[in-house]
């Protein structure tokens, strides 16, 4: 059995852990911070070897959402929810519905301090089920007047970030002719790969699902096995699947000039940012790069602008990343440290404002 990941330091405002009364599944709702407002973060449905691994994922992801929402300039705190599936289990339609009804009850128990949305393993249709038990959910299907699937806005933000990354790493943001490796062809990675192929990038792709080879062929991209993808020479390596892929061994073997992708927490350890810098590999912090979806969901839910205006805000993620790079250079720190500093300053101002109320 796989060794359990250590639980992160506990710095959360509140965590609810329940066994769903309908589904019997482990459910964790982690509220990391509400300093900037009601927390927003998706609901992940995933398989874990132990319940503690599911809890650790919720704790890590919710803390990352605090950084993401703060750095994105949103008036939203950080939270995350996880439905943990035992290894080897398969949900039928009835038990899946039961799981998301249970999640709705857990979200409701926080009284509006946390809003959920779709995430890895969940869908907008699942969020419609959640909405039967709580109003604190965003990203409902278009058919019922919701904002719909956020993968498109997330992909747009990643593309904007990739252009900014190329500018800094190779001197030009032009995608044509650049060697780009996309590891993960899900909702976001697949959309990004299609756009990059259309713009003339030299693509290498992979996914844990071998059926994604068909998409690779359609895009004219080279396919490699997941365990070998980091060895392919690239201008930009795009982690677009699960987190923790950038281990010390992978970083040491990575053949890329930059890393820029939508995967949450791609660094197996924070020290990986220093290891990348020491090797001369530019690292674009994930919580800046992948904020397009949460920007879209939060602003749509609050009716803060037209759809066009909101997508313009998403496209501006590239400018945020450029400021992060400039700050990193000015301070002599990694882009990760600079991005964390940007988020920390917003949180400091927010906490000071709350103290005056």
Cα distance between residue 274 and residue 82, in whole Å: 30
Identify whether 80 is a catalytic site residue.
Answer: yes
Give yes or no for a contact between 259 and 276, defined as CB atoms under 8 angstroms apart.
yes
Sequence-ordered list of residues with C-beta below 8 angstroms from that of 223, at least 6 positions apart, any chain: 204, 205, 206, 213, 216, 217
Closest CA relative to residue 153, chosen from 38, 312, 282, 283:
312
Cα distance between residue 186 and residue 210, in whole Å: 12
Give yes or no for a contact between 94 and 38, defined as CB atoms under 8 angstroms apart.
no
Q: Tabulate helix, strand, coil % of the chain (nearest 5).
A: 45, 15, 35
Name the catalytic one among 68, 80, 212, 302: 80
Sequence-ordered list of residues with C-beta below 8 angstroms from that of 71, at least 6 positions apart, any chain: 285, 287, 288, 291, 320, 339, 342, 343, 346
Catalytic residues: 80
């Amino acid at each position: 059995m796989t060794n359990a990941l250590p639980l992160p330091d506990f710095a959360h405002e509140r965590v609810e852990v329940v066994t769903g009364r309908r589904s019997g599944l482990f459910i964790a709702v982690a509220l990391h911070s509400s300093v900037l407002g009601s927390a927003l973060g998706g609901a992940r449905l995933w398989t874990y070897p132990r319940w503690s691994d599911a809890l650790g994922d919720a704790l890590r992801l919710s803390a990352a959402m605090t950084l993401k929402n703060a750095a994105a300039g949103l008036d939203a705190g950080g939270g995350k929810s996880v439905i943990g599936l035992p290894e080897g289990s398969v949900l039928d339609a009835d038990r899946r519905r039961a799981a998301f009804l249970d999640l709705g009850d857990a979200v409701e128990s926080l009284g509006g301090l946390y809003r959920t949305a779709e995430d890895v393993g969940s869908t907008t249709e699942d969020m419609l089920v959640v909405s039967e038990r709580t109003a604190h959910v965003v990203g409902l299907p278009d058919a019922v007047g919701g904002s719909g699937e956020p993968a498109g806005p997330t992909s747009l933000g990643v593309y904007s970030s990739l252009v900014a990354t190329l500018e800094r790493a190779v001197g030009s943001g032009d995608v044509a002719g650049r060697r780009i490796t996309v590891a993960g062809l899900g909702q976001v990675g697949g959309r990004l790969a299609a756009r990059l192929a259309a713009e003339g990038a030299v693509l290498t792709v992979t996914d844990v699902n071998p059926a994604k080879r068909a998409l690779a062929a359609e895009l004219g991209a080279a396919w490699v096995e997941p365990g070998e993808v980091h060895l392919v020479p690239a201008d930009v390596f795009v982690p677009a699947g699960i987190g923790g892929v950038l281990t010390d061994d992978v970083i040491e073997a990575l053949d890329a000039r930059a890393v820029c992708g939508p995967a949450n927490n791609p660094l197996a350890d924070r020290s990986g940012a220093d290891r990348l810098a020491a090797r001369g590999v530019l690292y674009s912090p994930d919580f800046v790069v992948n904020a397009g979806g949460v920007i879209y969901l939060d602003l749509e839910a609050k009716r803060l602008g037209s759809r066009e205006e909101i997508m313009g805000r998403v496209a501006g993620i590239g400018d945020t990343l450029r400021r992060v790079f400039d700050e990193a250079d000015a301070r002599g720190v990694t882009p990760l440290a600079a991005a964390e500093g940007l988020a920390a300053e917003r949180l400091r101002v927010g906490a000071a404002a709350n103290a005056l109320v």
